[in-house]
Amino acid sequence: MELQTTLFWLRLGQLLIAVPLLALAGQGATFALARLMGQPPQQNIVYRLFEVVASPVVKPCRWIAPRFIPPHHLPLIAFCLLLVAYGWMMLEIGSVCARHGLAVAQCLQSR
């Protein structure tokens, strides 16, 4: 595959990982803020929005995680898995650029 096509697909994968990753981070922050304000997080509309965005990633974690892990820890497992996947994508983009003899900054700027 040529460089631009490969970078396109890697960046698309990175974007698809970043959306639920940021939704889980926002859900965690909203959970903490709602608890500080004395409100149940499930009544907060922003928390529920983040929950809907992140649910396609959190639900499959039930299949991966052992049964002794409580359901309220599943978003943390999903966050950790997404963080590892995002880091792997960043390293893969750097690897593709290096294989083509370009610095990462040069590689990402060439359009």
Is the pLDDT at 111 greater than 60, yes or no?
Answer: no
* Domains: count for the chain: 1
The SS3 assignment for 66 reads: coil
Beta-carbon contacts of 86 under 8 Å, excluding residues fewer than 6 positions away, are 14, 17, 18, 21
Rounded-to-10 torsion of CA 86, 35, 61, 23: -40
pTM score: 0.87
Shortest CA distance to 56 belongs to which of 89, 31, 24? Answer: 24
Half-sphere exposure of 57 (CA within 13 A, CB side): 23
Q: Tell me the pLDDT tens digit for each residue of 22-60.
A: 999 999 999 999 999 999 999 999 999 999 999 999 999
Q: Which domain holds residue 24?
A: 3-109
Tell me the two tokens of residue 26.
């926002």
Chain centroid to CA 20: 5
